[in-house]
Amino acid sequence: MSSKQIPSSFASIDALPEVVAAVGNHLPVLIDGGIRRGTDVLKALALGASAVLVGRPVLWGLAVAGVAGVRHVLQLLRDELDIAMALSGCTKVKDIDLSLVKIQD
């Protein structure tokens, strides 16, 4: 279900900056929901997520091709993240920061 289907709801990625600000450095922040591409991983990390969870894409891979499908999905996400990082000038995950995204009001 899209966040646009329920007017009072919003996407996980939209809540992320506020959650990160609320917990500060006291807890790792994991995001789940809406992660479909490597660029989604990059955005989540730039907004302060400690890590991302990718349950649905993994299940799609499992349903299509079993263990090989899971491996393929994870490799695609990794490759897409590598490309997004390279295009952003990041050579390491720790180089990813808020300067890579524009937060809209």
Give the per-residue pLDDT at 1. 46
pTM here? 0.87
Q: What is the pLDDT of residues 55-88, one digit of tens each?
A: 999 999 999 999 999 999 999 999 999 999 999 9
> 35: buried, middle or exposed (CB in 10 Å: 19+, 13-18, 0-12)?
buried
pLDDT at residue 3 greater than cutoff 60: no
What span, in angstroms and rounded, lies between the C-alpha atoms of 10 and 35? 15
β-pair type (30-32, 51-53): parallel
Mean predicted lDDT score pLDDT of the chain? 92
Give the per-residue pLDDT at 105. 64
pLDDT at residue 43 greater than cutoff 70: yes
Q: Which of 19-23, 28-32, 84-88, 99-103 has the lowest mean pLDDT?
A: 99-103
Q: What would the mean pLDDT of 32-56 be, rounded to a whole number?
A: 95
